[in-house]
Amino acid sequence: MAEALSNLSRKEQVIRKAAELFKEKGYSAASMRDLAQKLGIEAASLYSHIKSKEEILRTLCFDMATDFRASLSEVEKKKVTASEKLRLGIIGHVQVMARDLTASAVFMNEHRHLSQPYLRDFLLLRINYINRFKTIIEDGISSGDFRKDIDTKLSVMTLFSSLNWMPAWFSPDSTIEPEKLGQQLADMLINGLKQNR
Amino acid sequence: MAEALSNLSRKEQVIRKAAELFKEKGYSAASMRDLAQKLGIEAASLYSHIKSKEEILRTLCFDMATDFRASLSEVEKKKVTASEKLRLGIIGHVQVMARDLTASAVFMNEHRHLSQPYLRDFLLLRINYINRFKTIIEDGISSGDFRKDIDTKLSVMTLFSSLNWMPAWFSPDSTIEPEKLGQQLADMLINGLKQNR
DNA sequence: AAGCAAAACTAACAACTGTTAGTGGAAGAA
DNA sequence: TTCTTCCACTAACAGTTGTTAGTTTTGCTT
């Protein structure tokens, strides 16, 4: 079973290059011949490593989903105030993204090209994740941590919109570390732009 | 030249259907035969109305860009505080989006499939628009309207991320009107989630 | 040296891509 | 009627798509 390792390693090499390509051109516009060229092989050779183009997309999307959920589960365990929990949740999300910005971008923008039933499964995972954040915000409102007049649905969508576009504009050679960035983002969303009196 | 009108009307019908299709499937995955089918005609017949597939995308992207810029120009004229200007800018942006959510989604997600030199032009328009918002925020910091410790680049990217995902989740049959939504969004970004004190 | 598995190759497929050329019908204007 | 304009059609093009079958090369392990 030593072949499993080297196989995985080469397979992962293919998947990583695919992620770059899918991010750059989008899933549909990226052809298997493009991908092969990036790896210096023929298109048909890809199929020694993967079953299909969509299998690559599935792997990318569901692996990221797993990481996001694991991060949130850690945060939910902690016994802290809602606003602190939200802060930690945001930082965790940013850190997972930063660990693989390329896959994150694909996860975000290309998941819609999954076919059924995978698309359905993916969307269910996603809505569950979002709802868990929504619960944190609702708890925060109950406890007086957050304002009572905010619309939780709007808040949570705004939150994810902000988070999810990060891969598009965050460059890894930036001086700012992901955790710092997460902190700032959380601060901005929680406290707003306005001077507090 | 009376034909220009009726031609335009039919052409616009094609473009609107194309926008729906591009939003649904993405530009690359949407074929001209798909589009033709939606209109109940043959694919080749489309070329009586448009020059190419990309011409449709160009029209959608640049028409939206024009509307966004016009809205912001109106706001910039007003003599109000920076935070008020930001609020108005956000509301304006949301209203332009709400006027055509489908085109907005295409504008946002599919513009990268423009070929050169149109892509370059588009991105220049976009960065100019963003920078004008950034200026408003900087003015707000100088005047003491906004906190001095915020990162303007991060703020403005967060702002646009929040705004731009609206077409993805806002449904036109929602009870909330666009202006109200813009108000709430602006309020959330400016004041944050947290209870003041 | 022999064997084995991983990973590449060539050749080809059926389906689909955007687009052009040329044609014809329908409707209103002259 | 005849002319014109719009709008659709059929047929076909050259190129690209994901994928397969079958074969050969490569490099390690015995």
Q: Which residues contact B130 (CB under 8 A, 6 or more apart)?
A: B156, B160
Please determine, for residue B139, whether its predicted confidence score (pLDDT) is greater than 60: yes
The residue of A25, A163, A194, A196 whose CB has the most chain B CBs within 10 angstroms, and thus the best one to mutate to test that interface, is A194
- A157 to chain B, any CB pair closer than 8 A? The answer is yes
pLDDT score at B95? 93
Please determine, for residue A197, whether its predicted confidence score (pLDDT) is greater than 50: no
Q: Which residues contact A53 (CB under 8 A, 6 or more apart)?
A: A32
CB of B45 lies under 7 Å from some atom of strand D? yes
pLDDT score at B7? 54
Place of tokens 């009107």: B177
Q: Would you give the DSSP letter of residue B194? A: B
CA B117 vs CA A26, B110, B123, B156: distances in Å: 19, 16, 10, 26
- The proportion of chain A whose per-residue pLDDT surpasses 70, expressed as a percent, equals 93
Over the Cα atoms of chain A, what is R_g?
19
Cα separation, B99 vs A21, in Å, equals: 34
Task: Tell me the shortest Cα–Cα distance from A59 to chain B, in angstroms.
Answer: 20
Is pLDDT larger for residue B145 or for residue B6? B145
Q: What is the DSSP string of chain A?
A: -HHHHHHHHHHHHHHHHHHHHHHHH-TTT--HHHHHHHHTS-GGGGGGT-S-HHHHHHHHHHHHHHHHHHHHHHHHHS---HHHHHHHHHHHHHHHHHHTHHHHHHHHHTGGGPPTTHHHHHHHHHHHHHHHHHHHHHHHHHTTSB-TTS-HHHHHHHHHHHHHTHHHH--TTSSS-HHHHHHHHHHHHHH-SB---
Å: B31 CA to C21 C1'? 21
- Mean pLDDT (whole number) for A93-121: 96
pTM of the predicted structure, to 2 decimals: 0.90
CB distance A107 to A126 below 8 Å: no
CA A124 vs CA A117, A127, A157, B6, B34: distances in Å: 11, 5, 16, 45, 28
Token pair for residue A77?
């365990």
CB of A87 lies under 7 Å from some atom of strand C? no
Please determine, for residue A3, whether its predicted confidence score (pLDDT) is greater than 50: no
Q: Which residues contact B102 (CB under 8 A, 6 or more apart)?
A: B16, B19, B20, B23, B167
Q: Do B145 and A194 touch (CB under 8 A)?
A: yes
Residue B81's SS3 state is coil
Please determine, for residue A105, whether its predicted confidence score (pLDDT) is greater than 90: yes
Nucleotide nearest to A28 (CA to C1'): D17
Q: What is the DSSP string of B47-78?
A: GGT-S-HHHHHHHHHHHHHHHHHHHHHHHHHS
Q: Do B190 and A189 touch (CB under 8 A)?
A: no
Å: A73 CA to D24 C1'? 50
- The proportion of chain B whose per-residue pLDDT surpasses 90, expressed as a percent, equals 67
The residue of B34, B149, B161, B190 whose CB has the most chain A CBs within 10 angstroms, and thus the best one to mutate to test that interface, is B161
- Mean pLDDT (whole number) for B127-151: 92
CB of B30 lies under 7 Å from some atom of strand C? yes
Using one digit for the tens of pLDDT, what is the confidence trace for A37-64? 999 999 999 999 999 999 999 999 999 9
State CA B68 to chain mean position distance: 7
pLDDT score at A126? 96
Cα B102–B75–B84 angle (5° rounding)?
105
Please determine, for residue A6, whether its predicted confidence score (pLDDT) is greater than 70: no
Cα separation, A191 vs A63, in Å, equals: 32
Please determine, for residue A122, whether its predicted confidence score (pLDDT) is greater than 50: yes
| Across A2-11, B94-103, B132-141, B179-188, least confident range | A2-11
Please determine, for residue B2, whether its predicted confidence score (pLDDT) is greater than 50: no
Å: A3 CA to D29 C1'? 12
Using one digit for the tens of pLDDT, what is the confidence trace for A93-102? 999 999 999 9
Residues of B within 8 A of A27 (CB-CB) are 26
Using one digit for the tens of pLDDT, what is the confidence trace for B91-122? 999 999 999 999 999 999 999 999 999 999 99
CA A8 vs CA A11, A101, A106, B50: distances in Å: 5, 21, 20, 48
Å: B44 CA to C15 C1'? 18
Please determine, for residue B52, whether its predicted confidence score (pLDDT) is greater than 90: yes
Residues of B within 8 A of A154 (CB-CB) are 181, 184-185, 188
pLDDT score at B155? 87
- Mean pLDDT (whole number) for B157-182: 83
Using one digit for the tens of pLDDT, what is the confidence trace for B36-49? 999 999 999 999 99
Q: Dihedral sign, CA of A162, A67, A46, A55?
A: negative
What is the pLDDT confidence band of residue B3, given thresholds at 50, 70 and 90?
A: very low
CA A135 vs CA A65, A81, A132, A156: distances in Å: 19, 13, 5, 10
- A109 to chain B, any CB pair closer than 8 A? The answer is yes
Using one digit for the tens of pLDDT, what is the confidence trace for A145-193? 888 888 898 889 888 898 888 888 887 777 788 888 888 888 888 876 6
Please determine, for residue A121, whether its predicted confidence score (pLDDT) is greater than 90: yes
Q: Do B188 and A158 touch (CB under 8 A)?
A: yes
Contacts from B40-45 at CB under 8 Å and sequence distance 24+?
none
CB distance B137 to B152 below 8 Å: yes
- Mean pLDDT (whole number) for A125-151: 93
